[in-house]
Amino acid sequence: MPDVGEGLTEAEILKWYVQVGDTVTDGQVVCEVETAKAAVELPIPFDGTVHELRFPEGTTVDVGQVIISVNVGGGAAPEAPVAEAAPVAAAAPAAPAAEDEEPKGRQPVLVGYGVAASSTKRRARKAPAGAAPAAAPAAPVLVSVPEQLNGHAPAGARPLAKPPVRKLAKDLGVDLATVTPTGPDGIITREDVHAAAAPAPAPAALAPAPVAAPAPAPAQAPAPVAAGVVSSDAREVRIPIKGVRKATAAAMVGSAFTAPHVTEFVTFDITRTMKLVEELKSDKDMAGLRVNPLLLIAKAVLVAVKRNPDINAAWDEAAQEIVLKQYVNLGIAAATPRGLIVPNIKDAHAQTLPELSASLSELVSTAREGKTTPGAMQGGTFTITNVGVFGVDTGTPILNPGEAAILAVGAIKLQPWVHKGKVKARQVTTLALSFDHRLVDGELGSKFLADIAAILEQPKRLITWA
């Protein structure tokens, strides 16, 4: 399992596109995984035959774990190198490898993950729970590990632990070399780290963890794991928190308790903008493009950012600096089956109205298909969330981490409004701007929000103020 995002530690296997016995070629997509940021398709870096699928669909796997093995044929196959900084996406042995055999030759890996070899090797992992064994020879040993001595790795050997466990140990100030491993194959678990961090009431001798024998290859990938677990009284459903939803929750908590939020509101007459939307739909220069109120709202935001550039900034806590962005990567919050994501349009400030329309359409369609890449969600500078599509008048949005402000667009409704001294039915909406009060004071936030409303009240300002 490679790190398909920036520093991600795990991913869920959504779908296998191959089965045991299938022939695969270098670059062929073999599975789809969901990280905390997006769904990503993984290619195989080998030519050969699928020998084993090590985890069923629905399983969350740590980065660096072997998820598939491939028989490449043509003699002894190279062992998969173990390197925490450069995990290999898959290992492909053709025959059992001796424990003391050294890696030979260049190891094929995913582009961008480099080639590394390590003296620390692992025995084959246990087969996943629920896997149906087939009448086949024992699976090849992909990598091996030195014998554990009294529960500890031999002197000079690096302790075995997954990236999240290493981070936990670092946070707690625990030296992994002093921790007694209790996990399979001598791997240090979270419980081991916590036990080492807490003062033990009395020393307890732990038996060496048994080394698992290589498991037979499953005949096929096991059935997917259920999305929710029904409790014993059948009146509650428990849904595991993972993937995009888990990452969103962590980001929102971090944002809410890090940046001091202020929210301001403005309600105004958007009738002229709605008329312009209808005119643009019949304009030949916009033929084939999607024209809606969000398009003109996005354009109004870009013009307002140009007039109030300090709103387009970030707070660098480590450097104690305010970072002013000379570009706008415009994020659009999108509700998807996997949860809320915020992909952004790169350099939106430089796009014409037709280009902005095309970018918005592509962004939304890609998000709905679950094909948004991690890169598309990184580097945003300002976000728009359109709660009006759900019939909601307004809201108090939480900042996307790393940004100074976010705009919530409410529902556009026909309401009584004073227009030219008379009460008339007009299209009215409410905008809500949340901003980081460390970066944006009340004056700047108010001017920026008022500019957006003024542009949408009189859309000719898209020309005069641009």
Kindly list the catalytic residues: 437
Q: What's 5's DSSP letter? A: S
* 150 residue type, one letter: N
The whole-angstrom distance between residue 21's C-alpha and the CA centroid of its chain comes to 31
The whole-angstrom distance between residue 246's C-alpha and the CA centroid of its chain comes to 9
Q: Which residues contact 140 (CB under 8 A, 6 or more apart)?
A: 51, 69, 71, 77, 93, 94, 95, 96, 97, 124, 214
Half-sphere exposure of residue 140, counting CA atoms within 13 Å on the CB side? Answer: 26
Q: What's the token pair of residue 409?
A: 């667009």
d(CA 30, CA 22): 10
Torsion of CA 458, 430, 291, 333, to 10 degrees: 140
| Cα torsion angle, 115, 116, 122, 126, sign | negative
Q: What's the token pair of residue 465?
A: 């103020």
DSSP string, 338-349: TEEE--EETTGG
Residues 429, 410: contact at Cβ < 8 Å? yes
Q: Which residues contact 6 (CB under 8 A, 6 or more apart)?
A: 374, 378
Residues 206, 182: contact at Cβ < 8 Å? yes
Q: Of 79, 1, 67, nearest to 40 (Cα)?
A: 1
Q: What's the token pair of residue 80?
A: 């998969």
Residues 293, 270: contact at Cβ < 8 Å? yes
- Residue 235 backbone phi and psi in degrees, to 5: -110, 0
* 108 residue type, one letter: P
The whole-angstrom distance between residue 319's C-alpha and the CA centroid of its chain comes to 26
Q: Of 407, 368, 364, 409, nearest to 386 (Cα)?
A: 409
Burial profile 383-405: b = 16 or more Cβ within 10 angstroms, e = fewer: bbbbbbeeeebbbebbbbebbbb
